[in-house]
Chain A
Amino acid sequence: MRAARERVAGSVANFVDERTGAAKFLKKSLNKVFPDHWSFMLGEIALYSFIILLLSGTFLTFWFVPSQEELIYNGSYVPLKGVKMSAAYASTLDISFDVRGGMLMRQIHHWAALLFLAAMVAHMMRVFFTGAFRKPREMNWIFGVALITLGIVEGFLGYSLPDDLLSGTGIRIAQAILQAIPLVGTYAAFFAFGGEFPGLDFIPRIYTVHVLLLPGIMLGLITVHLMLVWYQKHTQYPGPGRTEKNVVGYPLLPVYMAKAGGFLFIVFGVTAFLGAVASINPIWVFGPYTPTQISAGSQPDWYMGWLDGLVRMSPPLESHIFNHTISWNILIPGLIVPGIMFTGLALWPFIESWATGDKREHNLLDRPRNAPSRTAVGAMAITFTIVALINGGNDIIATHFSLTINQIMWATRISIFVLPPLAYVITKRICLALQRADRDLVLHGRETGRLVMLPHGEFVEIHEELSPEEAWTRTSHEQLAPIPAAGIDANGVRAKGVLKDRIRARISKGILQEQIAKPTAKDKLEIGDGHH
């Protein structure tokens, strides 16, 4: 039995190799080593939810009718019988109530979309806070930022498709943002919508974008993203035996493959469970879209909520120059601030390496505490986004905590300027405190809580020395020194571009100067064994 099976496998392999020469490549690939850490699974979750989206989305396309043509509903959801609505909305009702398992698939699709974006954001934070984006992985960071951006757009277009009251309101807002762009906005909006809002063309158009264009681009980006991970080999956390020049982990076959494949099913199972028990986007409650109605307390999906929050807190600014209107109240929160945020995000690896002067390859990850300034910048960005997100739900919060919208609005308007810098300072302090704790641990060992009485009656606590492995993990990072303020050469002559250099030296000092010196072998010797 076994011999026969091996013979078949052998001849298949032979067939393929004689025609492609794949054996050489595969032999190398199958021996690929993958480091293991829970935080490396976040990207995997994103990948798996993308696969789930492709599968469940394809199922939905079999019944969804992307058309704004009006019809009278006559399906099995009684409260809406006889109501005029678009074919898109009616077909979404049909999927929900007349296709067996249709509702389940809609809910799986929507939950997977939320999970997809959440996993991408979490994955990005992991990469950011551990410095995994550093050379040679800057390109993959940029692909990642592109994927998140496209993911947000894709999700928005997705929940715009059913043409219910909530999604139509979202489209209206998107149209207003488009229309607010100076010079070309009105034309862009007329071209996108085939005329005035809402028209009859928008849903068929975004349908093509949602099911073909963006998934295609994302699939391409994901493929390149993974090929680069493969080719550059995964980063690893610092630890005993782990260096910049090696990678320690499990081989692709069988362990990694079994775990990853198993994990795909687990993620799919969890989204199916959510789809089964947790209702999401009940479009039949909202009713079909009409421009004259609105559901109170309407909320976009969470990954759009921060944008909504920015729009809500924006001051009522509009300029009128030479018979033209510029809507700052839309442009600033809707385009300018997000534009700055995403550009900064995409360029971060280059900003950082410019500021620290570090142009080397890095395969060992940073522990976030050992890069205090980066960690603090990250905390600042997260704080900014959370404040915006909170204001995006200000009506919900107001009713839940019996506050007025006015109070929340002013609180967030102030917080968005005050809290992020505060988060920066606090995070940096915390990082330095953790560095100090590491130093103490390495030098003085861990407190055991056990007391012993010395001969002369004094009580001392026994400190247990760290294992060499633990001590190494806490000290193997390197501490860069700031870039010297260059620009003045030996003869005291100022070189060209001095100002730029000085600024850079200043920034680099701000970033790198504050570090708690890590213990060296000498420190440890000096303290000696007598110390407890």
Chain B
Amino acid sequence: MSNKELEPLQDPGLPAHAHRKADHDEAAANRAERQVAILFLLSALGTVLFIYSYIFIENNLYIYIPILGNQHAQQLFLGLGFAIALFFIGAGAVHWAKTLMSDTEVIAERHEMRSSDEDRAAFIATVKEEAGAVGLGRRSLIKRSLALSLGLVGISPLLLLRDLGPLPEDALNKTTWDEGVHLVTDPGNRRLRPEDLEVGAVAHVLPEIEHPEHRSLNSIAKDALLLIRIRPEEFRLDAEKLSWTYQGIIAFSKICSHMGCAVALYEQTTKHLLCPCHQSTFDVPTGAKVIFGPSARPLPQLAIKVDEEGYLVAAAPFNQAVGPSFWERKK
């Protein structure tokens, strides 16, 4: 079946060992010894540099090195000292091995991994005998009940993990936004009037809360909004979505509908919102429809209006969950 029968070329066998210079020339060997010693001493110098840098270089000293630019001097020289100290120990050892240690190749025999047939037979016999002695084959009640309890005992550690976190319940569908909640700037926590936003401008917005200094990242991760103003006639929205805007101002969740990054880039000329994570691109006039990238849904839009004092407030909670999709998410 293989080419074997066709008689391959002959294996000439391991070539004769070629001796190195240092093997027979005492002077060459001594030279090699000196080279190795120099390499080891270089390493010692590296450690001296390391210790010097640790103790004597000021922490706030920066120096300019071509190509590298401004460098923190202490960290640079600590590192160089360390690198030299380590590298030359290695270089010395390898040079030593290559020039002075025996370099004759040796041949060792291999054995097949498989045990010998007698060993295998003996092993199987032992197993059978042991199994017979325990009587597992006969005592099926023991076998089954043991299997049952072994299976069940695995549940306990899993159950113990239950308290890692609360159940999701309705949490992902809720945000702080509700009718009448003021829109405030992020950062700054200042309320906004429509006049604060020129056409073409974008504002980053959070809901007003009593103690903004205690605002949790959890709530920010769901509440963050983008407020964008375009000319009202540029909207191409259905009547309901249009009624959620105010004088050309439209509010979208800033949390990407793909995997939850901050949709941070607004391109004024094209009126596109871009998420830098995977470049999902949302078209503002059409209600943040996805025009490019992997996201499958528009950014949720928040209905807004102004209160009697003329500040922008939410007109209703979000009508859907914000952020990335999840199994229980309703369309």
Residue ranges of A at the interface with B (Cβ–Cβ < 8 Å): 31-33, 76, 97-98, 100-101, 103-104, 107-108, 136, 169, 172-173, 175-177, 179-187, 189-199, 201, 232-233, 240-251, 254-255, 258-259, 261-270, 272-273, 275-277, 289-298, 308, 311-318, 320, 323-327, 329-330, 333, 361, 363, 394-395, 405-406, 409, 442, 468-469, 471-472, 475-476, 478-481, 517-522, 524
Q: Do A241 and B11 form a contact, CB below 8 Å, given A263-B90, A297-B276?
A: yes
B87's contact among A98, A187, A265, by CB below 8 Å, is which? A265
Chain B interface size, as a band, is: 35 or more
Contact between A521 and B2 (Cβ–Cβ < 8 Å)?
no
Q: Do A520 and B326 form a contact, CB below 8 Å, given A272-B79, A298-B277, A405-B279?
A: no
Contact between B294 and A187 (Cβ–Cβ < 8 Å)?
no
Which residue of A has the minimal Cβ distance to B76? A276
Contact between A196 and B324 (Cβ–Cβ < 8 Å)?
no
A-B contact pairs, 20 of them (CB 8 A): A33-B107, A33-B108, A104-B75, A169-B261, A169-B277, A176-B324, A196-B222, A198-B217, A198-B221, A247-B110, A248-B14, A262-B89, A276-B78, A276-B83, A290-B220, A316-B294, A330-B258, A409-B279, A480-B2, A520-B8
Contact between A294 and B262 (Cβ–Cβ < 8 Å)?
yes
> Is B172 in contact with chain A by the CB < 8 A criterion?
yes
Contact between A190 and B12 (Cβ–Cβ < 8 Å)?
no
> Is B102 in contact with chain A by the CB < 8 A criterion?
yes
Minimum distance in angstroms from A432 CB to a CB of chain B: 16
> Is B311 in contact with chain A by the CB < 8 A criterion?
no
Contact between B166 and A270 (Cβ–Cβ < 8 Å)?
no
Which residue of B has the minimal Cβ distance to A262? B93
Within 8 A of A (CB), among B82-112: 82-94, 96-98, 101-103, 105-110, 112
Q: Do A258 and B327 form a contact, CB below 8 Å, given A177-B259, A519-B9?
A: no
Contact between A269 and B220 (Cβ–Cβ < 8 Å)?
no
Contact between A323 and B331 (Cβ–Cβ < 8 Å)?
yes
Contact between B326 and A261 (Cβ–Cβ < 8 Å)?
no
Q: Do A136 and B89 form a contact, CB below 8 Å, given A277-B76, A405-B279?
A: no
> Is B191 in contact with chain A by the CB < 8 A criterion?
no
Q: Do A478 and B218 form a contact, CB below 8 Å, given A100-B54, A240-B14?
A: no
When distances are taken between beta carbons in the complex, the residues of chain A under 8 Å from B76 are: 276-277
B103's contact among A199, A250, A291, by CB below 8 Å, is which? A250
Minimum distance in angstroms from B36 CB to a CB of chain A: 10
Per-residue contact bits, chain B 216-227, to A (CB 8 Å; 1 contact, 0 not): 011011101000
Minimum distance in angstroms from B210 CB to a CB of chain A: 18
When distances are taken between beta carbons in the complex, the residues of chain B under 8 Å from A517 are: 3
Q: CA A63 – CA B276 in complex, angstroms?
A: 33
Among B166, B277, B290, which residue has the most Cβ atoms of chain A within 10 A?
Answer: B277
Contact between B86 and A268 (Cβ–Cβ < 8 Å)?
yes
Q: CA A136 – CA B72 in complex, angstroms?
A: 52
When distances are taken between beta carbons in the complex, the residues of chain B under 8 Å from A108 are: 79
CB contacts between A and B, total, < 8 Å: 344
Contact between B171 and A195 (Cβ–Cβ < 8 Å)?
yes
Residue ranges of B at the interface with A (Cβ–Cβ < 8 Å): 1-4, 6-15, 54, 59-60, 68, 71-72, 74-80, 82-94, 96-98, 101-103, 105-110, 112-113, 161-162, 164-168, 171-172, 186, 204, 206, 217-218, 220-222, 224, 254-255, 258-262, 264-265, 276-280, 290, 292-297, 323-331
Contact between B224 and A262 (Cβ–Cβ < 8 Å)?
no
Contact between B324 and A195 (Cβ–Cβ < 8 Å)?
no
Q: CA A107 – CA B1 in complex, angstroms?
A: 57
Given contacts A175-B260, A265-B86, A291-B217, 16 further A-B contacts (CB under 8 A): A100-B54, A101-B54, A173-B260, A185-B326, A185-B327, A186-B328, A243-B11, A248-B107, A250-B106, A254-B101, A259-B93, A272-B86, A294-B277, A316-B296, A327-B325, A480-B2
Contact between A469 and B15 (Cβ–Cβ < 8 Å)?
yes
Among A270, A276, A518, which residue has the most Cβ atoms of chain B within 10 A?
Answer: A276
Contact between B93 and A241 (Cβ–Cβ < 8 Å)?
no
Contact between A100 and B74 (Cβ–Cβ < 8 Å)?
yes
Which residue of A has the minimal Cβ distance to B265? A296
Chain A to chain B: the 3 pairs with minimum beta-carbon distance, closest first: A276-B79, A269-B87, A262-B93
Minimum distance in angstroms from B99 CB to a CB of chain A: 11
Q: Do A518 and B217 form a contact, CB below 8 Å, given A233-B108, A247-B110, A269-B87?
A: no
Contact between A176 and B294 (Cβ–Cβ < 8 Å)?
no
Contact between A190 and B110 (Cβ–Cβ < 8 Å)?
no
A291's contact among B161, B164, B255, B259, by CB below 8 Å, is which? B255
Contact between B78 and A468 (Cβ–Cβ < 8 Å)?
no
Q: CA A176 – CA B323 in complex, angstroms?
A: 9
Contact between A315 and B3 (Cβ–Cβ < 8 Å)?
no
When distances are taken between beta carbons in the complex, the residues of chain B under 8 Å from A255 are: 97, 101-103
Q: CA A180 – CA B328 in complex, angstroms?
A: 10
Minimum distance in angstroms from B7 CB to a CB of chain A: 5
Which residue of A has the minimal Cβ distance to B217? A198
Q: Do A262 and B186 form a contact, CB below 8 Å, given A191-B164, A406-B292?
A: no
